[in-house]
Amino acid sequence: MTQMKLLKILGLLLLLIVMGVAGYIFYLKSTLTPSYSGTREISGLSADVDIYFTDHGIPHIYGATEEDTYKALGYIHAMERLW
Protein backbone atom coordinates (compact mmCIF):
# COMPACT_ATOMS: atom_id res chain seq x y z
CA MET A 1 0.00 0.00 0.00
CA THR A 2 1.25 3.40 -0.79
CA GLN A 3 1.54 6.07 1.82
CA MET A 4 -1.10 8.24 0.10
CA LYS A 5 -3.72 5.44 0.19
CA LEU A 6 -2.99 4.83 3.86
CA LEU A 7 -3.47 8.54 4.66
CA LYS A 8 -6.79 8.60 2.79
CA ILE A 9 -8.05 5.56 4.70
CA LEU A 10 -6.96 7.00 8.04
CA GLY A 11 -8.57 10.36 7.18
CA LEU A 12 -11.84 8.65 6.26
CA LEU A 13 -11.75 6.60 9.45
CA LEU A 14 -11.11 9.72 11.54
CA LEU A 15 -13.99 11.52 9.81
CA LEU A 16 -16.36 8.62 10.56
CA ILE A 17 -15.30 8.59 14.21
CA VAL A 18 -15.84 12.34 14.56
CA MET A 19 -19.26 12.11 12.90
CA GLY A 20 -20.24 9.22 15.18
CA VAL A 21 -19.21 11.10 18.33
CA ALA A 22 -21.03 14.25 17.16
CA GLY A 23 -24.19 12.25 16.45
CA TYR A 24 -24.04 10.59 19.86
CA ILE A 25 -23.63 13.96 21.61
CA PHE A 26 -26.59 15.37 19.64
CA TYR A 27 -28.67 12.35 20.69
CA LEU A 28 -27.74 12.78 24.35
CA LYS A 29 -28.63 16.48 24.30
CA SER A 30 -32.04 15.74 22.80
CA THR A 31 -32.85 13.23 25.56
CA LEU A 32 -31.91 15.63 28.36
CA THR A 33 -34.40 18.32 27.42
CA PRO A 34 -37.75 17.74 29.15
CA SER A 35 -40.98 18.53 27.33
CA TYR A 36 -43.15 21.13 29.04
CA SER A 37 -46.26 20.63 26.91
CA GLY A 38 -48.74 17.86 26.22
CA THR A 39 -50.44 15.32 28.44
CA ARG A 40 -49.08 12.24 30.17
CA GLU A 41 -50.56 9.24 31.96
CA ILE A 42 -49.15 8.86 35.47
CA SER A 43 -50.20 5.70 37.30
CA GLY A 44 -51.50 5.98 40.84
CA LEU A 45 -53.46 9.22 40.49
CA SER A 46 -57.09 9.22 41.63
CA ALA A 47 -58.07 12.29 39.55
CA ASP A 48 -56.69 14.63 36.91
CA VAL A 49 -53.83 16.95 37.85
CA ASP A 50 -53.14 20.13 35.88
CA ILE A 51 -49.58 21.44 35.65
CA TYR A 52 -48.78 24.74 34.02
CA PHE A 53 -45.30 26.14 33.44
CA THR A 54 -44.52 29.85 33.37
CA ASP A 55 -42.18 31.38 30.79
CA HIS A 56 -39.39 30.91 33.33
CA GLY A 57 -40.13 27.19 33.77
CA ILE A 58 -41.81 27.45 37.17
CA PRO A 59 -44.48 24.74 37.58
CA HIS A 60 -47.96 25.44 38.98
CA ILE A 61 -49.64 22.22 40.06
CA TYR A 62 -53.40 21.91 40.63
CA GLY A 63 -54.86 18.61 41.80
CA ALA A 64 -58.09 17.32 43.30
CA THR A 65 -56.35 15.77 46.31
CA GLU A 66 -53.20 16.58 48.21
CA GLU A 67 -51.81 13.11 47.49
CA ASP A 68 -52.26 13.54 43.72
CA THR A 69 -50.60 16.95 43.88
CA TYR A 70 -47.58 15.54 45.71
CA LYS A 71 -47.26 12.68 43.23
CA ALA A 72 -47.30 15.19 40.37
CA LEU A 73 -44.68 17.27 42.17
CA GLY A 74 -42.48 14.17 42.44
CA TYR A 75 -42.94 13.50 38.73
CA ILE A 76 -41.95 17.07 37.83
CA HIS A 77 -38.97 16.87 40.17
CA ALA A 78 -37.78 13.65 38.51
CA MET A 79 -38.37 15.12 35.03
CA GLU A 80 -35.87 17.89 35.76
CA ARG A 81 -33.02 15.55 36.72
CA LEU A 82 -30.11 15.22 34.36
CA TRP A 83 -29.79 11.43 34.63
Integer CA distances (angstroms), 58 to 24, 27, 61, in order: 30, 26, 10
Residue with more model confidence, 18 or 2? 18
For 40-73, how does the pLDDT look when each residue is reduced to its tens digit (9 = 90+)?
Answer: 888 889 999 999 999 888 899 999 999 999 999 9
> 60 in the Ramachandran plot: left (φ > 0), alpha (ψ -120 to 50) or beta?
beta
CA angle, corner 35, sides to 32 and 45, nearest 5?
A: 110
What is the per-residue pLDDT for 1?
65
Which band of pLDDT confidence, cut at 50, 70 and 90, is reported for residue 37?
confident
Q: Does residue 36 contact residue 53 with C-beta atoms inside 8 Å?
A: yes
Complete DSSP assignment for 36-57:
-SS----TT-SS-EEEEE-TT-
